[in-house]
Amino acid sequence: MIGAVITGKSHLGSAIALEACRNGEKSIFLAQLRLANTLLEKHQKGHYMSL
């Protein structure tokens, strides 16, 4: 999601993730920088499809 500061993006993202979990789905909620760093680390270790 993209938007101005203090518009509720993180709140909405966590609510969507929570609802997915309640419906039996797997979910992960990460800030953009943490996601990028995690994906880079996994790529470097050869674990392309796991988070």
pLDDT, residue 21, reads: 95
Q: Which domain range does residue 15 map to?
A: 9-44
The pTM of this model reads 0.60
In a domain? residue 50: no
**How many distinct structural domains can be found in the chain?**
1
Q: Which residues contact 29 (CB under 8 A, 6 or more apart)?
A: 13, 14, 17
- Whether 3 maps to a domain, the answer reads no
Distances (CA, A) of 23 to 17, 32, 37: 10, 25, 28
Please state, in angstroms and as integers, the Cα–Cα distance from residue 8 to each residue in 1, 11, 13, 32, following that order. Answer: 10, 5, 8, 15
Other Cβ atoms closer than 10 A to 36: 11
pLDDT digits (tens, 9 = 90+) for 1-50: 788 988 999 899 999 999 999 999 999 888 888 889 988 998 898 887 66
What does the pLDDT read at residue 50? Answer: 62
Residue 5 is predicted with a pLDDT of: 87
